[in-house]
Structure 1
């Protein structure tokens, strides 16, 4: 199997297995396992914390040892975690499964794309990523339908089935996944700045300890590079009003996301019941709506006017905050369900708007650092925001917890609006300049 076809298979089967496992997962946790609102949120906090901590070590493994190995280990761990998730219906079992799955997910994240970029023929890489995204969306929709069908045998069945499929994908990769165009040695040569040594294709030069350095030295270099990036990123935040607003706004948006993600489906159970077909239908509607809205916004966004893009994001956050607050206060199903779909639609479309804003408002030399800092702020916000929302939901009601999560978005709206006023009017006036030392 060619690397191109294998990557498309990974996109389709991985997305399908993930949706099978997670479409009704929160309903399973709330009804079968019987987790409290605080426990539901803490599971999400554990997931975000593990992913945040494991990012660097797993990235070093992918860059020092093998991207192929990192991807295979990742899918095997995710599959094992899902099996524990579905077969051990207790809070301790869910937490243990979350830790296992999260480490696996981080192993795959980034390493999969890096492997594809190296192993697929250069002229087909862009096509692979575009086609892979389309297959990913198709796999997600099919996975939702499969989850609903399997749930008729029990809510744990889709989770176990998703775990089995993920393990099967890992085993399939062990047989068919190759790594012929990349090695730790070639990566080290490329980084050394020696022309001709990295791309020569000579097996001897690729693995030469003299040209690449030992895996230990490469790992130390990776950690030092991360340290330099953190220092440069901190300086960038202090020195740029735009970046300060973006990071602070993203942090508050992260504060709100865990509450809605973990509590919204259990909140709907009294209104629509715990029937899998209802939540499956809602997931399909939300996915189709997000695909259509993202395409529509993508055609209308003008990257040459980052200030307008920033203002649009501030408006989206304002409407999302209002939708979440009203959703938490809803007393009828015909109010709660449309608000639930509206919030999901807006949250799915806000991510590409933010990406366009970051790209249009930053210079190429600073772009990677800005994205990295923004992702870290989002993760820290989710870690910090989950527990207080869970405490409110546990002591009062699920709706109150969701409304509090919506209140967290109000500072994000204000900060994004403040940052938008400091964005460049045209793309030839980049607002953020960060030292290239941030890239190590």
Structure 2
């Protein structure tokens, strides 16, 4: 398949998969049904911890089976979880849905990045991964932004949050169809495999070894964990907006602008993939300062400025990921990525705990200031951990088969 055709498929899939109108409203849905911020934060922690337990097993599995099937199964799990939220908007329902969504996240984590890299490698376009991934992240964020605008429009027309949720469930059918239509690209080690358990354990050990013994990969793993784990401010934007007086119809518009900032960050990463690390660190510091001010101003409209702050953070994440994927061995790329996702989950769980402990009733801003401050501190590590150019992909003994 030509590069342009593959990119169109990947961009469409990433847009549809992230067209999630319930995202901007699900915290409000549970808040409407008596779930407090403390309860939500505890469930977020459970969400993150379960992801930690499943992260490495699912990453190793993605190195030995068809990754498209894992992504399709992940979509089905997330759709089921959202349906349970809508049917049972209680604490038990929230927990069950979060467990299924966490399983989805674990299956996707590592699998998605490795699939994209190998799809490109199959047509000898692996060096394009950084730019393509930046555009894919933009498509993701366009999907989120478009869905929040959609949610605001139909809520404004009188639709309920529950109706928005069922639209979200239905969209998953399109995502599953699109992912299963991607070209079949399989990486198979030349060694003899006698079964999934043996292959799974071998993949896990190889991924662990790569993460521990490659200094560049290890540094990128650590900074990626920090940036990804601390990008949780947007999870609480709907609640902060409501606390500051925004209506349910206005909240998605505020979230929409925040996602525009993520799109801008992806554009920066796509246009300047070789941006110097000191410059990137300075941009992240400036972005966190803007986020802190936006949270401090007690106006829902000020929260839109968080999108400006998120832009350089998103660029740092995309650039660090591109260089991480280039440094990871081909045969254990998903497993190595899962080790990074493990770090993301640990830091996210700690961030959710901070917000939950410091929340004052329905106001999570105290904890968010701490998260933003820690994110600012992590920016100082970017020059020492993110190389200016992507490292050369490690060689591996592999054979490749690609079927349309």
User: TM class by shorter-chain length?
Assistant: 0.7 to 0.9
2:243 corresponds to 1:270: yes
Of 189, 194, 210, 1:214 maps to 194
The alignment's C-alpha RMSD in Å is: 4.4
State the SS of the aligned residue for 2:231: helix
CA distance in structure 2 between the partners assigned to 1:225 and 1:141 by the alignment: 37
Is 1:282 aligned with 2:283?
no
The CA deviation at 1:92 is: 1.9
Which of residues 163, 168, 181 in structure 1 aligns to 2:169?
163
Larger helix fraction of residues:
1
Question: CA offsets per residue over residues 58-116 of structure 1, 9 Å max, x none?
Answer: 34555555445433322221111110122211122111101112213433455567778
Aligned pair 1:256/2:230, yes or no?
A: yes
**Counterpart pick for 2:212 among 225, 234, 251:** 234
How many Å apart are 1:22 and its aligned residue? Answer: 1.2
- Determine whether 1:15 maps to 2:18: yes
SS at match of 1:153: coil
Gaps of 5+ in 2: 398-404
Of 151, 168, 176 in structure 2, the residue corresponding to residue 147 of structure 1 is 151
Kept in 2: contact 1:41–1:263 (CA 8 A): no
Mapping for residues 42-53 of structure 1, pairs under 5 Å: 42-53=42-53
Structure showing greater Rg: 1
Render the CA deviation track for 1:140-159: whole Å, top value 9, x for unaligned.
44322332234332222212
- The residue that corresponds to 1:197 in the other structure is none
Structure 2 vs 1, CA of residues 270 and 21 (structure 1 numbering), >3 Å: closer, same or farther?
A: closer
Q: For 1:42 and 1:247, how far apart are their aligned partners in 2?
A: 26
Shift of 1:412: 0.8
Asked if residue 350 in structure 1 is aligned to residue 316 in structure 2, the reply is yes
Q: Which has the higher contact order (CA 8 A, sep 6+)?
A: 2
Deviation at 1:192, TM superposition (A): 1.9
Change (3 A) 1:367 1:320: farther
Secondary structure of 1:26's counterpart equals helix
Confirm whether residue 319 of structure 1 aligns to residue 253 of structure 2. no
Structure 1 residue 399, shift from structure 2 partner: 1.7
Aligned to 2:189: 191
SS at 1:22's partner residue?
coil
Question: Which of 314, 319, 340 is the aligned partner of 2:306?
Answer: 340
1:91 aligned onto 2:63: no
User: Does the 8 Å contact 1:10/1:169 carry over to 2?
Assistant: yes
Contact 1:74 1:108 in 2 (8 A): yes
Is contact 1:252–1:408 with CA below 8 Å preserved after alignment? no
For residues 279-321 of structure 1, the C-alpha deviation after alignment (integer angstroms, 9 at most, x for no partner) is 3322333333433453245434536xxxxx2212322332233
Residues in 2 aligned to 1:255 and 1:74: alpha-carbon distance in whole angstroms? 21
User: Contact (CA 8 Å) 2:141, 2:260: kept in 1 or not?
Assistant: no
On the 8 A contact 2:210/2:336 being kept in 1, the answer is no
Provide the residue aligned with 2:402 in structure 1.
none
Residue 77 of structure 2 aligns with which residue? 77
User: Which residue of 379, 384, 387 maps to 1:413?
Assistant: 379
Contact 1:150 1:157 survives alignment (8 Å): no
| Structure 2 CA distance for partners of 1:312 and 1:125, relative to 1, 3 Å | closer
Q: Is the Cα contact below 8 Å between 1:27 and 1:274 reproduced in 2?
A: no
The TM-score normalised by the length of structure 1 is 0.70
